[in-house]
Structure 1
Amino acid sequence: MTRQLHLNAFLMNTGHHEASWRLPESDPYAHVDLAHYVRLARTAERGTFDSLFLADGPQLWSNLAQRPAGALEPLTALATATEHIGLIATASTSYNSPYNLARKFASLDIVSGGRAGWNIVTTAGAEAARNFGLDAEPAHAERYARADEFLDVARKLWDSWEDDAIVADKTAGVWGDDSKIHPPRHRGTYFRVEGALNVPRTPQGYPLLVQAGSSEDGKRFAARHAEAVFTAQQTIEDARAFYADLKARTAEAGRNPEHIKVLPGIVPVIGSTEAEARAAERELEDHIVHTHGVARLESLLQLEPGTLELDGPLPADLPSEDAVEGAKSRYTLVVQLARRERLTVRQLIGRLGGGRGHLTFAGTPEQVADAIETWFTQGAADGFNIMPPVLPSGLDAFVDHVVPILRERGLLRTAYGPRRTLRERYGLPRPANQYTVRENALV
């Protein structure tokens, strides 16, 4: 097959731009409206996207004055409202237990017929830590060590049923074969988990494993485990370097580099002309409340409130990435963007307003398609995390006007075809059951 794009629709309430909720077209209550998410899911499915993605975290993001806050967990409902598209949910390894989370993803995979994906996060930030009885967030390296063990336990649980454990022999009165159940009996640094999962092995075996950290710890984790990586890159040069580095690390970890897909985020602001797209971008920037942006930047950069001057540059004496225990890679990206383009704090807030560090691109459908094709064909991406600045109109514009161009160029499927599971769409094998493999090796 000709190599084709993997497209993921990253859905965020009224859109990714922080001021999207202020536009006349936007519904400020969309973040708790299931019908809103169903409409978006069906639009993405019409565009033959591989998957939907919802970010999440165990804390209330931002302050209520800034933008719609709080979120539903609608993926199980979306599984019944869609037929083909993958469903990727964020869940933290820092503030969950392996048994409960493995069960939730197994249930989603079964209900959806093999379309579940897990965006594995370690959750930065003291706010989340305090919601779970901690005084401060655990150290960056410790969060990733816990994530390694968490994923090990989750895999043991997903494999705790062999595929043919259910016999369903009515004549003999035998429903299942107990010899094909494998309790993990795990004893580790962070977890003790005794029994088998109470959900059978799923259509995919495991959900698609997705990761979004681009720090050194994050890249090491991705190389060992991830099958898709969401990343923020501002230039094609940086994207190509990240792509090559991650593929090389994956090979060094003994895995096939083709089995990890790199999906940078892009915020497409689309207009029938370039001038129209630029005007739409300016309208969004004009609706930014800069006091919120200053507070968010000071938090990211670990500065005391009141440090930043709106029309001045970032301070020269910012801490190095090594001193940051939160979102290390995003910290570095924001600082490098400000330094490289000599942005004032006001300008930097405008650049971050649409995608929080992801590439914002304003142009015609043809120009957006050109940018996607260039990154895809020049070793910077296997596909993209599409992040519409305004929803639902931004996703409608992408599906109605950019998708047909990508299809004409042979870069995107015109229909879903026979590959039904999310893993199959990503060209990934179904993982073998580790207990079965071990038993066969002993024979």
Structure 2
Amino acid sequence: MARKRQIKLAAYLIGSGMHFTAWRHPQSSPDASIDVKALQKLAQIAEKGKFDLAFIADSLAINHESHPHILNRFDPIVLITALAATTEKIGLGATASTTYSEPYTLARQFASVDHISGGRAGWNVVTTADATGETVLNFSKKKHWEHDHRYERAEEFIDVVQGLWDSWEDDAFIYDKESGQFYHPKKVHELRYEGEYFQVKGPLNIARSRQGQPVIIQAGASVPGQRLAARTAEVVFTHWDDIEEAKQFYQKLKSQLKEFDREEDELHILHGISPIVGETEEEAIRKYNELQQLVDPYESLRFVSGYMGNVNFSKYTLDTPAREVEFPKVNSIQSQFNEMKKIIDQENLKVGDLYTRFFGAAKRDGFIGTPLQVADEIEKWFTEKAADGFMIQFPLLPRDLDDFVTHVIPILQERGLFRLDYEGDTLREHLGLQVPENRFASKEKQLNRI
């Protein structure tokens, strides 16, 4: 009997919140992004709400346009290790770049966290957008690779990492004290990978975890990004302007899974939302307005600039029609830039409207309202297959996370849309994903059948 489809939830943990001005709010702690106890508390609140995943993003360069909590933050892999120590069930996802990392090192880091957490780790694969051109300068390089080139490297990178994660068969370590045999020599495998970008011998010096391999997470919506996701991803983060666009993307990406002999339920698409909950709709709007009133228009435009090719918005008045702005060619998050540019071309936006129009934490939508209104909107997106779940980027933390867990989760549970409790211990179990078979053990089985 097939399991009933249920909503998947990820909590985006970023300092005092996703809204650009969250750190200035009277209820916030401006240093929350480097307060490990505060971050551990956020993960515990999300675990209380039975979230599938607590997620940590990253950036490899900063400038004066960066989100405040990007300026001062922990390394994500180190942080999820700390979160693992104070949680028991919730999955823990961290971002790491395929453009500015080495596969062996990254494979070892995530395998280590997967063991430490008891099989709860997920790797958010990014190729690294470098809209400002500054990331490359931190890694002794002269030029940031072009978009499609980065995705070609990423495909090889993931293949190498997953191959290294399979270095040891599940029963390779026998620890036989009497015979003195620590492991079974025939159950450890050298990868011996040779590709265009990487040459990696292996084996990795750590066994497979109880979930086999960390879960692969991605966020690319471009054509190369979709292909990479269809082949390798198990969770995909998206953000679309409306439900119809989200449904089109959902169907398009799911349809590509067949090419790689995958089923639809092997990949979960999570749409980004920023809910604010109030006892009444008026209270929710008041909470939203409290954050909006703290926005310095030109400060917020500096943040927008990083997503639109490093535009100098200071030379434009806030009333300038956005269509008149000169946008350079971007070698960044192309799908996001294209979506934003399309909206600018179609709508009569002013320069001063851009931050509020484009960024979920600053946007008035159906996810701001009473618990019932927010739950209704979530159910609509889920049942109409615009998403399998949601990456929740709370505008103000911990307030909005706490409100969501206390007031919205119970409604979703009552409707049978969300779990009452965790039914397993690993991230794969939460997501309903199978433990991947060890490729080397599988190959041996096939040879034995011949």
Same fold (TM over 0.5): yes
Match for residue 52 of structure 1? 54
Match for residue 432 of structure 1? 437
2:191 and 2:202 in contact (8 A); partners too: yes
CA distance in 2: counterparts of 1:243 and 1:70, whole angstroms: 35
Are 1:386 and 2:386 an aligned pair? Answer: no
Residue 45 of structure 1 aligns to a residue whose secondary structure is helix
Match for residue 100 of structure 2? 95
Q: 2:336 aligns with which of 327, 330, 340?
A: 330
CA distance in 1: counterparts of 2:441 and 2:67, whole angstroms: 54
By how many angstroms is 1:204 displaced?
1.4
Q: 1:311 aligns with which of 316, 319, 322?
A: 319
Match for residue 363 of structure 1? 369
Q: What are the residue-to-residue correspondences of 1:190-339 with 2, within 5 Å?
A: 190-302=197-309, 304-305=311-312, 306-315=314-323, 323-339=329-345
1:19 and 1:67 in contact (8 A); partners too: no
Residue 322 of structure 2 aligns to a residue whose secondary structure is coil
By how many angstroms is 1:130 displaced?
1.3
2:20 and 2:67 in contact (8 A); partners too: no
Distance 1:127 1:360, change over 3 A: farther
Distance 1:225 1:356, change over 3 A: farther
Partner amino acid for 1:364?
A: T
Residue 158 of structure 2 aligns to a residue whose secondary structure is helix
Q: 2:139 aligns with which of 110, 116, 132?
A: 132
2:323 and 2:345 in contact (8 A); partners too: no
Distance 1:61 1:41, change over 3 A: farther
Unaligned runs of 5+ residues in structure 1 are none
Flag as ranges the 4+ runs of structure 1 deviating above 4 A.
Answer: 61-68, 316-320, 356-360
Q: What are the residue-to-residue correspondences of 1:173-184 with 2, within 5 Å?
A: 173-184=180-191
By how many angstroms is 1:235 displaced?
0.4
2:366 and 2:374 in contact (8 A); partners too: no
Total equivalences in the alignment: 440
Partner amino acid for 1:251?
A: K
Residue 368 of structure 2 aligns to a residue whose secondary structure is strand
By how many angstroms is 1:317 displaced?
7.6
By how many angstroms is 1:238 displaced?
0.6
Distance 1:300 1:308, change over 3 A: farther
1:232 and 1:359 in contact (8 A); partners too: no
CA distance in 2: counterparts of 1:80 and 1:332, whole angstroms: 40
Match for residue 152 of structure 1? 159
Distance 1:2 1:19, change over 3 A: same
TM-score by length of 1: 0.95
Match for residue 39 of structure 1? 41
By how many angstroms is 1:392 displaced?
0.5
Query: Deviation string for 1:51-108 (max 9, x for gaps)?
Result: 1000012223655795562211411011121111000000000011001100011011
Greater CA drift, 305-314 or 164-173: 305-314
RMSD: 2.0
Match for residue 423 of structure 1? 428
1:165 and 1:176 in contact (8 A); partners too: yes
CA distance in 1: counterparts of 2:361 and 2:335, whole angstroms: 15
CA distance in 2: counterparts of 1:50 and 1:254, whole angstroms: 25
Match for residue 112 of structure 1? 117
CA distance in 1: counterparts of 2:434 and 2:159, whole angstroms: 19
1:63 and 1:69 in contact (8 A); partners too: no
Distance 1:271 1:13, change over 3 A: same
Distance 1:148 1:87, change over 3 A: same
Query: Deviation string for 1:107-151 (max 9, x for gaps)?
Result: 111111111101000001022111112223100011001100000
TM-score by length of 2: 0.93
Unaligned runs of 5+ residues in structure 2 are none
1:288 and 1:353 in contact (8 A); partners too: no
CA distance in 2: counterparts of 1:433 and 1:27, whole angstroms: 45
CA distance in 2: counterparts of 1:102 and 1:68, whole angstroms: 25
Partner amino acid for 1:272?
A: E
Distance 1:160 1:14, change over 3 A: same
Q: 1:69 aligns with which of 53, 68, 71?
A: 71
Match for residue 5 of structure 1? 7
Partner amino acid for 2:182?
A: W
1:80 and 1:112 in contact (8 A); partners too: yes
CA distance in 2: counterparts of 1:204 and 1:162, whole angstroms: 13
Residue 367 of structure 2 aligns to a residue whose secondary structure is strand
Match for residue 27 of structure 1? 29
By how many angstroms is 1:354 displaced?
4.6
